[in-house]
Structure 1
């Protein structure tokens, strides 16, 4: 299933952003993009990389395949550059129950981040979830990433007061460099 997101609320002037489900042929490009956006492995560093927080690979082929296999109701969506077809953004949307959806693996190509594509992708992801009967979106963000938490808050997400522990000892997503990591949970009604 494919989706096109329409104009965002609040008069942001965001125009349609086309999302499509990731295909197996896309996995190498997705993995490269996610690792560049989260860990700064590309030519241009993202404004919100996890330098000094977590090091190592954020996503591998086996992790991606495992998540897709164990979460068949999830939608892993990509946005492509219209001119060349390159993947420039990703978002994972997963129904948690009949009302709340989880948002994760939200990335924009670091070289394009100053073009407000993150705002457009987030709006498109919300439109996609809404079209699939979601009533709210939740996400976990590392509490020490205050600039990223603030970015989501400016887009209508609120701290729920809930936290989740960081999975110390499980280095599938990288090696933590700090001993004070936890996830704060943000949510937004759609």
Structure 2
């Protein structure tokens, strides 16, 4: 397991888009993604994130694309947003060479903190491709539960990849966030 250096969290700007597209792609697509355990290379080809969608997420109110930097630069990212009164967690990526060392857990906890403390949201939701059983199990160990709700995969929309299988769909996972304690910062 790689040593986790101190992480510094910051909100992404439009200038970060090229680096974020590269980071997210390296974590999920192609041979580089096989260095980590989150690869989708056997499920999907093509891009994992669209630069225009990413720019929109950065600019949207109550939406934050979070970057985790260490002394070497960006090592992880995620998108957290207020969607219909719940936190939404997505676009989660850790440099595949750094996976398995606690960085992902730290990023997820920071996104939960943003949803709970900054936006006073009571729950976090996410969608995961339902055949990603190892990834779903990781989220379950961190308190997420399967809701039984499924959403269709956007077949034909290459902004989200080119499926290698015809049975892909998303499963919705959810976690209750503890209430904001007295004196906690709310912005």
Corresponding residue for residue 111 of structure 2: 125
Corresponding residue for residue 175 of structure 1: 162
Map of 1:73-92 to 2, 5 A cutoff?
73-81=62-70, 83-84=71-72, 86-92=73-79
Deviation at 1:135, TM superposition (A): 0.6
Deviation at 1:171, TM superposition (A): 1.4
The size of the alignment, in residue pairs, is: 173
TM-score, structure 1 as length reference = 0.83
Corresponding residue for residue 95 of structure 2: 109
Q: Which residue of 140, 143, 162 corresponds with 1:156?
A: 143
Name the stretch that deviates more: 135-144 or 44-53. 44-53
Q: Which residue of 21, 24, 32 corresponds with 1:31?
A: 21
Q: How far apart, CA to CA, are the structure 2 residues paired with 1:178 and 1:40?
A: 16
* 8 Å contact from structure 2 (residues 12, 58) kept in 1: no
Deviation at 1:139, TM superposition (A): 0.3
Q: How far apart, CA to CA, are the structure 2 residues paired with 1:130 and 1:43?
A: 31
Q: How far apart, CA to CA, are the structure 2 residues paired with 1:131 and 1:24?
A: 25
* Structure-2 change in CA distance of 1:31 and 1:125 (3 Å): same
Give the secondary structure class of the aligned counterpart of 1:63.
helix
> Which runs of structure 1 show a deviation greater than 3 angstroms over 4 or more consecutive aligned residues?
14-18, 40-44, 66-69
Corresponding residue for residue 145 of structure 1: 132
TM-score, structure 2 as length reference = 0.84
Structure 1 spans left out of the alignment, 5+ residues: 1-13
Q: How far apart, CA to CA, are the structure 2 residues paired with 1:114 and 1:16?
A: 15
Structure 2 spans left out of the alignment, 5+ residues: 178-187
